[in-house]
Amino acid sequence: MPRYRLDIEYDGRFYAGWQRQADLPTVQEAIEKAILAFTGETVTIRGAGRTDAGVHATGQVAHVDLGRDWRADKVQGALNAHLSLAGEYVSALAVEKVADDFDARFSATARHYLYVILNRRAPAALLRGNVWHVPRRLDADAMHAAAQRLLGRHDFTTFRSVQCQSDSPVKTLDRLDVTRAGDLVEIRASARSFLHNQVRSMVGSLKRVGDGGWSGDDLEAALKAANRARCGQVAPADGLYLVKVDYRDATPNL
52 is a catalytic site residue: yes
Classify strands 56-65 and 46-47 as parallel, antiparallel or unpaired.
Answer: antiparallel
Distances (CA, A) of 53 to 13, 70, 195: 8, 32, 16
Strands (E), 66-213: 90-98, 108-118, 132-133, 152-155, 170-181, 184-191
Among 25, 21, 29, which residue's Cα sits nearest to residue 82? 29
For the chain, first and last CA: distance in Å?
13
Residue choice 1, 22, 126, 181 for contact with a second copy (CB under 8 A): 126
Residues 168-227 that bind a second copy (CB under 8 A): none
Residue choice 19, 38, 70, 89 for contact with a second copy (CB under 8 A): 89
Alpha-helical regions (H) of 22-158? 27-39, 72-85, 140-147
- Taking the complex as a whole, the smallest distance from the CB of residue 4 to a second copy amounts, in Å, to 15
Window of 9-17, 46-54, 149-157, 224-232 that interacts with a second copy by CB under 8 A: 9-17
Asked if 53 touches a second copy (CB under 8 A), the answer is: no
Residue choice 45, 64, 92, 131 for contact with a second copy (CB under 8 A): 92
Residue choice 67, 123, 212, 213 for contact with a second copy (CB under 8 A): 123
Catalytic hit among 52, 73, 139, 141 = 52
Which residues of the shown chain bind a second copy in the complex (CB under 8 A)? 9-11, 56, 58, 76, 80, 83-84, 88-94, 120-126, 128, 130
